[in-house]
Each structure stands twice: as structure tokens, then as C-alpha cells.
Amino acid sequence: MAPETRTASWQDKQQWLSIETPKIQGEWVGYSADYEMDTGKVICVPEKWVPDAFIDWDILVKGLEHMTSATMDGDLLRIKETFILPKVGCEEDAVAADVSDYAIPYKNLAFVPFPGGSFSYGPEHLQQQDNHQQSDIIANMAFFHATKDEQKNHGLTRLGITVSFATQKIHLVKEEWNMEYNGGQSLIGCGGASISPFDDDERLDPSDLLPFQQGTKITWSRQDPDRLTTEYDTEAAVPWTVGRIEFDWYLPANAHVRCFYGEDNRFCLQTGWLATPNQYFLISREYDPQQQLTRASWFESKVDM
């Protein structure tokens, strides 16, 4: 017998924004890498950012240490990303390879908050050119967990996936909350990042996700934009027939990203993360046949191991 599905109205979205969005703030430290959208293969770091010694030793650099600095400023969530040059040995100072700044209008319909600082963000309407979307879609999945630090009761780890249809790249970053917001002034020192570089040979197998078929699902819908709905003991699947699959990649850091279309040209991007051996997250972002954002959902499944 299928588990009972119960639907309950959630809080007003503005209340949810005030509770969950501030958890995105602060200084985050981790590791990031880029992948080809059409093959799922890692994109090596540009040679201009690679130390001469690495080039001489034929060492391929497949990712960079990464910092995110985020703060809420009025109606904007301001984010600064810093990519750190690879260090030879244990150099004293970390050096920024590249810095980018952008802002998210988090009170806009395009931004949908979920528990623990997770969120989905992207265009309200996908602009197409030569049958390719030209905008980025961002999904962050975060969760609290126990830490070894006796001074803290919990830590916060998150996985961010940005799918860029303009550059045909998938950007993957795994980070841990480091400290309160300080403008991104501090840099990573030697051994400062607790998240290890991604191992490109360690990727999920589809069978790893088979136990996570039922869970809790929180959904935002354009039909009722000021409310979020929660379903229990339900499936993560979209409520329409899947037609063409654009790509379906299992990436390092236990990440999964999938893009597909329905028979009537409706579109969905799903980003998943097996955060622990018994906890799986999935964020879906759906667009209707006119390519207008219609629904976004967050799914969590836990199993006893």
C-alpha cells in the first residue's frame, strides 16, 4: 500500500523569507569545479591560474578553493565569490585568482526559499535563442549537522549548483559556514579549507538513490505565490510526463543534476545531493510550455541505514 500523502498549508512566503533567507549570510569556505553540460566531464582550471611548478610537473588542476561572502542589503542578497589560486607546498598566503560580485533580489518571485538556507533562483521566463536557454539557474541545498568542534553545537554545510545555459557549464561548489559576514576580507590559509578537493572518480551510481523515493516535499506555485505547501510521504517526481532528457549527470561530492522536457515542451531542472549516507535532497524548478516559471520544490528523504 502506498504511503498516505498529506498536504498542509505552510507559512506566508514573506515570513519564510525572513526566517530562512538570513541563514544564507556569512562567510563560507569550500571547493568548487566546473563541468561540461553536454558530457558531464570536468573542465580543468585555466592555465593562467595554475602555478608554473604544476605546469612543469604536468599536474592538472580540476578545481579551486572557494569562498563565498553573503549579506542581505535591503531587498538584495549580495554575494561575493572568491576563487583561490592553487598553492605550491604550504605557501604562507592564499591569493585570489578571480573575484565576482552579484546580487539576488530575494523578494522577487524568481527566488524561492526552502529550509535551512536552501533556495532556488533563476529567471521568471527563460529567454531562448537557437533553442537554448540563455540564463543561469541556481540551486543551493543546505543542512545542519553535528560538528567535532566542542565550541559549536552544529555546523552548516551546503552544496550549490549553477547551471549556465549561456556558457553550457555546470558549476559545483561545496562549502561550510565559517564565520559571520565580514565583507569577504579574510582569505584561506594553508589547510584552512576543511572540504577536500573533489575526486572526479567518485561519483554516485543511480542505484545509490533508489532508497530515497519517499519523503517530505515543499512546493511553491505561481498559482498561489504567497504560500508554500508541504506534502508528507510523497515522491519527488514532477506531476507531468517526462519526454526528452537533455542531460542527466552524476557529479563528484554526491551531486546529481538533471534537465528534461515534457511532451508539451514544459521544462524542468533538478539538482540533487546525497548529503549523508541516509539523507538526500532534491530541488526542482519547473517552467510551463511558454517557458514561464510555474513551480519550484524542495524534497528531503531520510532512511535508516
Q: Please determine, for residue 45, whether its predicted confidence score (pLDDT) is greater than 70.
A: yes
Cell of 10: 505552510
Model confidence at 2: pLDDT above 70: no
Across 79-93, 222-236, 281-295, the highest mean pLDDT is recorded for 281-295
Residue 24, amino acid: I
**Overall domain count for the chain:** 1
> Is position 265 within any domain?
yes
Rounded Cα gap, residues 96 and 87, in angstroms: 11
**Structure pTM?**
0.89
pLDDT at 17 over 80: yes
Instruction: Give domain status of residue 168, yes or no.
Output: yes
Query: Is 301 a residue whose pLDDT tops 60?
Result: yes
Percent of the chain with pLDDT over 70: 83
User: Residue 191: is its pLDDT beyond 50?
Assistant: no
pLDDT in tens, 96-144: 668 889 999 999 989 999 988 899 999 988 865 555 555 788 888 887 6
Please answer whether residues 163 and 257 qualify as being in contact, where contact means their C-beta atoms are separated by less than 8 angstroms. yes
Q: Is residue 282 in a domain? A: yes
- Does a structural domain hold residue 116? yes
Residue 153 pLDDT > 50? no
Tell me whether residue 66 is in a domain: yes
Q: Is residue 1 part of a domain?
A: no
pLDDT at residue 169 above 80?
yes
87 against 229, higher pLDDT: 229
Residue range 262-289, pLDDT digits in tens: 988 899 999 999 999 999 999 999 999 9
pLDDT of residue 126: 81
Whether 126 and 291 have beta carbons less than 8 Å apart is answered as yes
Summarize the confidence of residues 47-72 as an average pLDDT: 87
**Structural domain boundaries enclosing 174:** 6-87+94-179+198-302
Mean residue pLDDT of the chain comes to: 85
Q: Output the 3-class SS for 124-177.
A: CECCEECCEECCEEEEEEEEEECCCCCCCCCEEEEEEEEEECCCCEEEEEEEEE
Judge whether 191 lies within some domain: no
